Structure 1
């Protein structure tokens, strides 16, 4: 294997990125709508929704991901270790994603059981698909510059998925459901399941595994786990990933409540009047200022996230992933905190703050997963054994724990502030709770995460050293 073989074509980078676009049609729906779906569409009580999201998520995080990671690292096929998992799970993941957001007419107890079963299966299949997919990024190429480039492609695709889910999905749900959100979300999820399955198959057929462990490498699961515990960068990245996804799930799942209960509807309608008064605007967003405002608010943040992603590789190549990630994570957090100070009618400032937050946070997005791939290299560099999937599985544990805690906190905090989905107008206390959920609460994990990076030792100098020495061993 020569150095040139580590270079990736544009086709392969795009093909790989489509896998994350597909997975994020599911993931972004979970982040943005799961709590809202359970409480306001499916009719579960706040505390039951919170318990389901937290309990199932933690079980899935601690049980499914390490098992899938260990099995994937020991998978041997003509397609490689990780690619076959993408093929095997493409169709089942689409089917269960549809079922998880369906609303069968069961008794209340039956609804709770159905939610538990479908959410459990969804997280199991998501782990079996997305964990090997993520680990694949660590073996497609050993070239760190190519890895940074591939991560940028990947997370532009993620932003497209996020853009659709957070900008257009709510208006589409209302339109295709004829005002019935339960019918609307089932129709939308049907199409997302079909499209996502096709994209995953494209990923399988367009990618290749190039970083192959030496044939003589043998390690037990116990040895792999022992290596992890001794790997301080891995411990930091596990904690950082958990904190990041607590914030993403908390603020992402809170915006719909924020727009429906806190933002002044008259001020929002006036701000959006140039859009809603046009035929194109009504076609894209409908005539409901709340759903249109929610969509356009997310659109501004996502568009500028994509701009930030475009700058990420150049900054990471020049200054190193750790420093760039920490600085821009901190700056992005400041624009989350600003939401605490906005009066309900300050719609313009809300949109501007979301745009700046999106831009600065966008710079960090590709870097997170590229750093995790670097941790796999760090482990191989230290131990002379490569266990890519088990390292990524630990990060997926962090993702699932963060998603579960963050999403559960949305329902739990709203419940503690007295939110009642059956009320037309919420109490002042409940409305304040929705404000806190998009400002103070989600800022805390981001700030802790930025502080953790002071203890992360893989800086630019070490990145270069690891890459050079591993290339010498492999070639």
Structure 2
């Protein structure tokens, strides 16, 4: 059984691997494996999130309103697929654990559907829409199958609170790097692969992303281990029992609502970035350059563990959101003035703030798994974490739907000079929708009440409980 460190990190450089594991400190090959898992996810799903709407409207030739409706319908499907995967995880018991098997079972199907999303068969408009529905909803459902286990496995890797922050930081570093990398290289690679044929270019890029994802996930599956077990984790949990983990679990409620609102704003912004630079600024050549500054978030992600040690998780989240809001204000000024320098400055500030947020959301969620067991006596990693994944995807889908409907209401026409109404719709989606989402997120975090003192009390109790359960079952 892992003995957690409820207070903070020790000076552990002199300890053996076994002694580190006893304190809940993972070896570096596992830390890095956990991190590159989200590099793979971001590398592929950021391609979908950032460029698929543009691919649908400007390359595949589907109307913006139809795309917005598709993304809204996909969110209805998410209302079922997220909890479904969570329940499946709680019902899974294999020699590999509960969450880890899904990394192996679904990496190939997700890779295949990623490629199919960017295929552009010669079909009628109805046929194109049907193709888009099948492939987009397919990749969306399968993304839950490969991503929810990454979140649900975190509380099973270690009980050490600081190690969880470290793992989440490493994961966020790789996630931000993967998302930034694909955002920056996507359009140049589309041009390189397609040689003027964007359909061929996007398909080839998606094929590359699918292969990268598949190979990395096999490595991640091989290296990760589930070590934290409660008395009931060795057998499937009935749905009714799993749901007890959510009863009066207020940290969980805050995190899932935060996830919905925050990712709604982020997705709205990401999906119209290419539109904003292409049409509002008339500088499509700057898209990759602007997206390069997403890498600024790596700095704040890297800083997160030390900042958390000094001021705590809640204050770190509040600071990140405040910085992100300030960045959006500068973006708004730059958008009004059509000043590229101010826009880039606002992008840097906003991304710096977002790094703190992305590094901590998964940690707060892992804490809510512990809280559910502490308060209700039920440890249900699957149902607790899948709800967060669902709300994040639901928020991203609503953000995408808003983008599509805004473009339609603004009378957007692909590859033409846009009317003022379309330009205003793009600007609103790029600047003001995210800023409002960040402001609401900040208000939500103000109500987060799992204090450091309460967290230490919870960790001590659960560590003792798990040790006693292990002795009993031997």
Q: Same fold (TM over 0.5)?
A: yes
Tell me the distance in 1 between the aligned counterparts of 2:235 and 2:181. Answer: 44
- 2:250 aligned with 1:258: no
Tell me the distance in 2 between the aligned counterparts of 1:251 and 1:65. Answer: 24
Give 1:40's aligned residue.
Answer: 58
Tell me the distance in 2 between the aligned counterparts of 1:2 and 1:246. Answer: 37
Q: Are the aligned partners of 1:264 and 1:345 in contact in 2 as well (CA < 8 Å)?
A: no
Tell me the distance in 1 between the aligned counterparts of 2:329 and 2:345. Answer: 13
Q: Are the aligned partners of 1:177 and 1:184 in contact in 2 as well (CA < 8 Å)?
A: yes
Tell me the distance in 2 between the aligned counterparts of 1:414 and 1:471. Answer: 52
- 2:151 aligned with 1:158: no
User: How big is each residue's C-alpha offset from its partner over 1:173-232, in whole Å with a ceiling of 9 and x where there is no partner?
Assistant: 122111221110100111111111010011101111011121488753123224414212
Offset, 1:132: 1.2
Give 2:364's aligned residue.
Answer: 371
Residue pairs, 1:4-403, within 5 angstroms: 4-5=20-21, 6-59=24-77, 61-215=78-232, 219-265=237-283, 290-291=284-285, 293-300=286-293, 302-342=294-334, 343=336, 345-403=338-396
Give 2:406's aligned residue.
Answer: 413
Aligned mate of 1:454, from 446, 454, 472: 446
TM-score by length of structure 1 reads: 0.91
Tell me the distance in 1 between the aligned counterparts of 2:257 and 2:330. Answer: 25
Gaps of 5+ in 2: 4-19, 468-474
Gaps of 5+ in 1: 266-289
Structure 1 residues 182 and 23: CA distance shift in structure 2, 3 A: same
Offset, 1:387: 0.2
SS in 1 for 2:106: helix
Tell me the distance in 1 between the aligned counterparts of 2:243 and 2:466. Answer: 24
Q: Are the aligned partners of 2:326 and 2:349 in contact in 1 as well (CA < 8 Å)?
A: no
Tell me the distance in 2 between the aligned counterparts of 1:167 and 1:2. Answer: 41
Structure 1 residues 210 and 347: CA distance shift in structure 2, 3 A: same
- 2:459 aligned with 1:441: no
Q: Are the aligned partners of 1:13 and 1:150 in contact in 2 as well (CA < 8 Å)?
A: yes
> What root-mean-square deviation, in Å, do the aligned CA atoms of Structure 1 and Structure 2 show?
1.5
Q: Are the aligned partners of 2:247 and 2:376 in contact in 1 as well (CA < 8 Å)?
A: no
Tell me the distance in 2 between the aligned counterparts of 1:357 and 1:455. Answer: 23
Tell me the distance in 2 between the aligned counterparts of 1:72 and 1:308. Answer: 32
Structure 1 residues 345 and 400: CA distance shift in structure 2, 3 A: closer
Tell me the distance in 2 between the aligned counterparts of 1:464 and 1:319. Answer: 15
SS in 1 for 2:350: helix
Q: How many residues align?
A: 447
Offset, 1:422: 4.7
Q: Are the aligned partners of 2:245 and 2:378 in contact in 1 as well (CA < 8 Å)?
A: no
Q: Are the aligned partners of 1:312 and 1:364 in contact in 2 as well (CA < 8 Å)?
A: no
Tell me the distance in 1 between the aligned counterparts of 2:2 and 2:157. Answer: 14
Offset, 1:34: 2.1
User: How big is each residue's C-alpha offset from its partner over 1:276-300, in whole Å with a ceiling of 9 and x where there is no partner?
Assistant: xxxxxxxxxxxxxx23x11111112
User: How big is each residue's C-alpha offset from its partner over 1:74-124, in whole Å with a ceiling of 9 and x where there is no partner?
Assistant: 211111111111011111111111001111111111111111111121112
User: How big is each residue's C-alpha offset from its partner over 1:417-465, in whole Å with a ceiling of 9 and x where there is no partner?
Assistant: 1211152x11122112211211112211111111011221112222222
User: How big is each residue's C-alpha offset from its partner over 1:306-327, in whole Å with a ceiling of 9 and x where there is no partner?
Assistant: 0010111111233221221122
Tell me the distance in 2 between the aligned counterparts of 1:49 and 1:217. Answer: 42
